[in-house]
Amino acid sequence: MPALKGDYFPLQSREADHLYHIYVRLPEGYDSEPDRHYPVVYLLDGDSAFPYLAPHHLFLTYDDKIPEAILVGIAYGSFAQPTNRRHIDFMPPAVGVESSESGAAAFQQFLRSELLPTVEQRYRADPIRRILVGQSRAGAFVLYSAFTDPDLFWSRLASNPSMHPGREIIFGNARAGTRRDLRLFLATGTAEAAGRRGAALEWLAYWQQRQGAPWTAEKIEIDGGTHAANLPDAYREMLRRLFSSQATSRAP
């Protein structure tokens, strides 16, 4: 499938003690431009998000003039537990959560010390322009990452994130970052469940007026958007804003 052309490799993590399946979509023209380095988009829940968004990025390059990117899907190989452990990897430490149920810290260490170095060694990846994308519980991990290791990714998209448990982290103090160009996008659909949407809007209102965050918090609102079906719309809007000088202009 040319829209998904790239690579695959298994990666056994020492940090998270789990086997991950890593799918890579390489940009069009990758082989013909050997000196070019690309932004890298890391897709959580890669079993579904990678085949969903990787071809979509190609169309965004065609129609919206979004720059090509390397897309990396972090997959489990199954939707069934215990092979799929999103309920652990994306779970932050929180009141009422047993330590054995919270794997967010270990998963982030897997990203930092195992996956990102591997990708940046194997492919022409630009380490300054790393992007992390997560939906629902994976969106909660995106927020956890933004608060605990802000410099790890240039930009992050939390699409309809689960805000509980872990509220004390995302309404607390974020670790200081060294970069001044970091951006954190939170997408919410107007047809999202009232409780989840209300929590997202509360968080956005809080962080858009609070001083001292290591990133700029930005709202993406999808008119009529539901919990999962509009992830491509949120992804598109994030990229249009990130690459606004190259992308087709659109009112926010």
CB 48 within 8 A of CB 115: no
Cα 5 to Cα 54: distance, rounded to the nearest angstrom: 10
CATH code of the domain covering residue 57: 3.40.50.1820
pLDDT reported for residue 248: 54
Q: What is the mean pLDDT of residues 44-70?
A: 97
In a domain? residue 252: no
Cα 196 to Cα 188: distance, rounded to the nearest angstrom: 9
In a domain? residue 250: no
- The residue range of the domain holding 216 is 2-242
In a domain? residue 50: yes
- The 3-state DSSP class for residue 131 equals strand
Spell out the residues 6+ positions from residue 59 whose beta carbon is closer than 8 angstroms to its own: none
CB 64 within 8 A of CB 248: yes
> Which amino acid is it at 190?
T
In a domain? residue 249: no
Q: What is the mean pLDDT of residues 214-242?
A: 97
44: closest CA among 131, 154, 155, 168? 131
In a domain? residue 73: yes
In a domain? residue 81: yes
Q: Which of 82-86, 139-143, 208-212, 215-219 has the lowest mean pLDDT?
A: 208-212
In a domain? residue 247: no
Cα 173 to Cα 8: distance, rounded to the nearest angstrom: 38
Q: Tokens for 232?
A: 């491509």
- What whole-number percentage of the chain has pLDDT above 90? 90
- The 3-state DSSP class for residue 17 equals coil
What rounded mean pLDDT belongs to the chain? 94
Q: How many domains does the chain have?
A: 1
In a domain? residue 164: yes
Q: What is the mean pLDDT of residues 182-200?
A: 97
Q: Is the pLDDT of residue 210 over 50?
A: yes
Place of tokens 């194997």: 122
Q: Tell me the torsion sign for CA atoms 236, 241, 243, 249.
A: positive
Cα 54 to Cα 90: distance, rounded to the nearest angstrom: 22
Q: What is the mean pLDDT of residues 93-121?
A: 94
